[in-house]
Amino acid sequence: MSDAMMKMTPPMAQRLAELLHLLRRDWDLPGIQSALAQAAEIAPALDVCRAAIACAANEHARTPGLIARPGQHWEKTTAAALTRPKECPDHPGQHALRCAACAAEVASVPPPGWRDGIPKAAKHDHTNPIDDAGLDPEAYAAARARADEEET
């Protein structure tokens, strides 16, 4: 295995975590160690070092947990392609898990006539006269009266 593809070992991670903790006193050592362990699963040691130091240099990064997540701190690493979010296959430029176009398609109103292909239910002996009346107030009142008569 070449040096560039070397996997981060626990002693390497420990020393890097200590360095990062010296650079970022607001990050706790166990949190840094956890983030480095996660990052070591997706990238070689040199890439983890580059990304971790770049993340620590970002004053907006409030937690070391960001080290293992995709972001600009991975851009100058060979593992950058591994950390980029996947693109939606139907809508280029959209993240696969947060595609606004796919969400809009799911939430959209179905097209007119979408029920036409669905087989009709078997006819029942009893129909509700109120349902048959539609929205006409007079027909509704007449249907209501017939329904009341049937119940008595």
In a domain, 104, yes or no: no
Q: Give the model's pLDDT for residue 112.
A: 83
In a domain, 117, yes or no: no
> Does the reported pTM lie above 0.75?
no
pLDDT-flagged residues of the chain (< 50): 83
Q: Give the model's pLDDT for residue 24.
A: 95
The domain total for the chain is 1
In a domain, 91, yes or no: no
In a domain, 146, yes or no: no
- Provide DSSP, the chain: --GGGPPPPHHHHHHHHHHHHHH-TTS-HHHHHHHHHHHHTTS-HHHHHHHHHHHHH-TT--SGGGGGS-SGGGTTSTTHHHHSPPBPSSSTTSBGGG-HHHHHHHHSPPPTTTTTTSPPPPPPS---HHHHHTT-HHHHHHHHHHHHHHH-
